Amino acid sequence: MNKSKVKMGSIDFLLFATIMLLVAIGVIMVYSASSYSAFFNPQINDSMYFLKRQALWAIIGIIFMFWAIKTDYHKLRKYTNTFMLVTIILLLLVFLFPPINGARRWIQLGPATFQPSEIAKYIIVIYMAKSIDIKGEKIKTVKYGILPYICVSGFYAALVLAEKNLSIAAVIMIVTVIILFIGGAKFKHLLTLGGIVGAVGVAAIYFEPYRMARFLSFRNPWADPKKTGYQLIQSLLALGSGGIWGVGLGKSRQKCYYIPEPHNDFIFSIIGEELGLIGCTFIIMLFIVFIWRGIVTAIRAKDVYGTLLASGITSVVAIQAVINIAVVTGSMPVTGVPLPFISYGGSSLVFNLIAMGVLLNISRQKSFS
């Protein structure tokens, strides 16, 4: 039997360059979007406050990314169970801290905050890649191919949902379906799983008044322009004001207390206002290139484990980017999903970059027949 020749080579440079460019744009746009509110905030009074923090987290994340690039991704298999247990503990620890804006998503570590759900979405990928690789053809059965992942992914998603974070819980379940599809699960089983996930999502919206209000305002934000529709209206005004070329970097008007916390989930609106359609298209093209190179990395991986791992990591970033841009442009109800690499957030940026290091390590280990 002919065996594939495994080549240890250099990383996928185009993928690496795309990631670094997204991070660089993120740091610049966090500064541009936050400088006004940070300067006039009496508790901060420093226009570069968020820039300094985001740049620091970017440096830390890049250091860890290079470490992950040099570490064989197969070593993750050994520590999968430990990672899963630690993540559960961290997801439970958030309930010991006071809520922020009505949600308990963060662990306070001195001046910094840490969001365990950012780990959970990647832990599911690591777990599923290992599990499906071991099961082989059993993935085609309901007992071994669907039920275990409904239970495990559903458990993590439920913990995240209990933190008032429906968006990341949805990301976890969508990624679960994608990995099962790539792993070889039967399509009819996936349809059933997709139906269950969809039903749970609808119930989570229907039985939570603020989520239902967001959903209804998405259909017509001008029906309640001062409350539930306010954020989306301001986002659309920002995008419309930018036109094709934008008003210029740093010259956004909507960031001046019109869009709440413009450096977070709605930073794409500021990009649209300041850099225009051209800037938005460029960002979208970068994510398309990232997805393309992520798929190529998955296809060329030297084993099933690498293929599933690369597919899952790429899916997490792709789903979040699609949801964020859809929300900002009014294509789906408002939900709190950050734009990967660009929105402000230390734990999100660091763990995304660590995952990118794993993805780039997989790209080094190519298999040729």
Asked if 338 and 348 count as a contact pair (C-beta separation under 8 A), the reply is yes
Beta strands 112-114; 5-8: pairing state: unpaired
- Give the tokens for residue 80: 């999968």
Residue 344 is given by DSSP the state S
- Looking at residue 8, its pLDDT comes to 64
Q: Pick the residue with more confidence: 274 or 186?
A: 274
- Looking at residue 5, its pLDDT comes to 46
pLDDT band for 1, please (50, 70, 90 cuts).
very low
Q: Pick the residue with more confidence: 243 or 209?
A: 243
User: What is the mean predicted confidence (pLDDT) over 284-291?
Assistant: 97
- Looking at residue 171, its pLDDT comes to 93
What is the secondary structure of 46-65 as a DSSP string?
A: -TTHHHHHHHHHHHHHHHHH
pLDDT band for 7, please (50, 70, 90 cuts).
low
Percent of all residues in the chain with a pLDDT value above 70, rounded to a whole number? 97
User: How confident is the model over 345-362, as pLDDT tens digits?
Assistant: 888 999 999 999 999 999
Cβ atoms < 10 Å from Cβ of 295: 15
User: How confident is the model over 80-115, as pLDDT tens digits?
Assistant: 999 999 999 999 999 988 887 777 888 887 777 888
Residue 141 exposed, middle or buried by CB count within 10 Å (0-12, 13-18, 19+): middle
- Looking at residue 89, its pLDDT comes to 95
User: CA distances (Å), 365 to each of 72, 292, 298, in order?
Assistant: 9, 17, 11
Cα–Cα dist 15/279, whole Å: 20
Cα–Cα dist 116/105, whole Å: 7
Is 211's pLDDT higher than 80?
Answer: no
Q: Pick the residue with more confidence: 27 or 215?
A: 27
**Tokens 């709605």 found at:** 266
Residue 100 is given by DSSP the state B
User: What is the mean predicted confidence (pLDDT) over 148-167?
Assistant: 90
Cα–Cα dist 41/45, whole Å: 5
Cα–Cα dist 354/309, whole Å: 13
pLDDT band for 325, please (50, 70, 90 cuts).
very high
Is 260's pLDDT higher than 90?
Answer: no
- Looking at residue 367, its pLDDT comes to 59
Sign of CA dihedral 158, 160, 164, 168: negative
**Tokens 């922020």 found at:** 100
User: What is the mean predicted confidence (pLDDT) over 143-152?
Assistant: 86
Which of 189, 191, 155 is closest to 172 using CA atoms?
155
User: What is the mean predicted confidence (pLDDT) over 329-338?
Assistant: 85
Which of 118, 115, 121 is closest to 178 using CA atoms?
121
User: Would you call 365 helix, strand, or coil by DSSP?
Assistant: strand
User: What is the mean predicted confidence (pLDDT) over 202-208?
Assistant: 79
Residue 186 is given by DSSP the state -
Q: Pick the residue with more confidence: 226 or 312?
A: 312
Average of per-residue pLDDT values in the chain: 89
What is the number of alpha carbons within 13 Å of residue 155 lying toward its C-beta? 13
- Looking at residue 2, its pLDDT comes to 39
- Looking at residue 91, its pLDDT comes to 93
User: How confident is the model over 28-48, as pLDDT tens digits?
Assistant: 999 999 999 999 988 888 889
Asked if 288 and 253 count as a contact pair (C-beta separation under 8 A), the reply is no
- Give the tokens for residue 323: 């949801």
pLDDT band for 369, please (50, 70, 90 cuts).
very low
Is 227's pLDDT higher than 90?
Answer: no
User: Would you call 257 helix, strand, or coil by DSSP?
Assistant: coil
